[in-house]
Amino acid sequence: MGLRNWIYKKTGFNVKTLEYTPLKFERFESMGNNCELGLFLKESRNNTSSFFRYTFIHDYSLIGQLIQNNFRDIFLLENLEQSCTGMIIDKKYQLSFHSKMNISKRGEKKSIDNNELIVSHQKELGKVRYLADKFMDNLKKSNKIYVIKTNDNESSREIMQLHNIMLKVGNCTILNVKFTKNNNKISTIEKINESFYVGYVSGFAPYHNAHDFNFKEWYKLLKIAEEVIR
């Protein structure tokens, strides 16, 4: 990446034209399946918090249940397990969160009487509930574009089912992003119906390094989606 492009990417200032272009992409909200889009939005100077922005979704059918249940029983201490360093999983909804809590791993006895753990859990639960309420409020009142990455056709069917559940709550559009080896499809979108679109990039960042995404392809894809999806 040249210095001129680096400056533009980081600041929005075009050295060649002396123009400033804010990015933000405020209509877009990430729904997984991991942090990649959330990190792209952060680099695009969009720091708006959202429930799924930095989560890892293991099962989209359970996310449909979560929304149908109005996020009931999310992040209950008895349902949480340590999945890896710095992350915990809500077993009921198969949803992983970044967390500072130190919770027992599967098969280990959990000490829910630990005062430090209880205080830490209550603090994080407050943030989770705030973001859950914000998600439902946006779904009911805002014209958001919810972006979901999927790696296979089976997941795509689950996304369609999830979309139908979301439409019962409010107005929304799904942009289901997939990877493609067809260079002509990269950073393009296809309309499936009035509120469901499929977009393409050449590949996703590896799960162990979600920062390693293709900024140019995501940028072009979302700019096109902004223009097409009204």
Q: Which residues are paired to 193 by β-bridges? A: 196
State yes or no: pLDDT of 113 exceeds 60. no
For the chain, the average pLDDT equals 88
Residue 106 pLDDT greater than 60, yes or no: no
What does the H/E/C string look like for the chain? CCHHHHHHHHHCEECCCCEECCCCCCCEEECCCCCHHHHHHHHCCCCCCCCCCCCEECCHHHHHHHHHCCCCCCCCHHHEEEEECCEEEECCCCEEEECCCCCCCCCCCCCCCCHHHHHHHHHHHHHHHHHHHHHHHHHHHCCEEEEEECCCHHHHHHHHHHHHHHHHHCCEEEEEEEECCCCCCCCCEEEEECCEEEEEECCCCCCCCCCCCCHHHHHHHHHHHHHHCC
Euclidean distance between the first and the last CA atom of the chain, given in angstroms as a whole number: 33
**The tokens of 20 are what?**
């400033």
* pLDDT tens digits, one per residue of 30-46: 998 899 999 999 988 88
Structure-token pair, residue 134: 């914000």
pLDDT digits (tens, 9 = 90+) for 158-217: 999 999 999 999 989 999 999 999 999 999 999 999 999 999 999 999 988 999 999 999
Which residue ranges make up each domain of the chain?
3-228
- Tell me, what DSSP letter sits at residue 23? -
pLDDT tier at 6, thresholds 50, 70, 90: low
58 band by pLDDT with thresholds 50, 70 and 90 = very high
Could you tell me if 100 and 120 are in contact, meaning their C-beta atoms sit under 8 angstroms apart? yes
pTM score of the predicted model: 0.85
Structure tokens at 167: 């439409």
C-alpha to C-alpha distance for 197 and 177, rounded to whole angstroms: 8
pLDDT at 103: 83
* Least trusted range by pLDDT, from 19-28, 81-90, 176-185: 19-28
The candidate with the shortest Cα–Cα distance to 54, out of 12, 88, 9, is 88
- Quick one: average pLDDT of 87-98? 96
pLDDT(15) > 60: no
CA 148 from centre of chain: 7
For range 89-107, the mean pLDDT: 86
Is the pLDDT score of 63 beyond 90? yes
**Mean pLDDT of the 148-164 span:** 86
Segment 114-131, tens digit of pLDDT: 788 889 999 999 999 999
pLDDT of residue 163: 96
Q: In the prediction, which pLDDT does 171 show?
A: 86
C-alpha neighbours within 13 Å on the C-beta side of residue 56? 16
Pull the structure tokens for residue 42. 């952060």
For residue 5, what are its two tokens? 């492009």
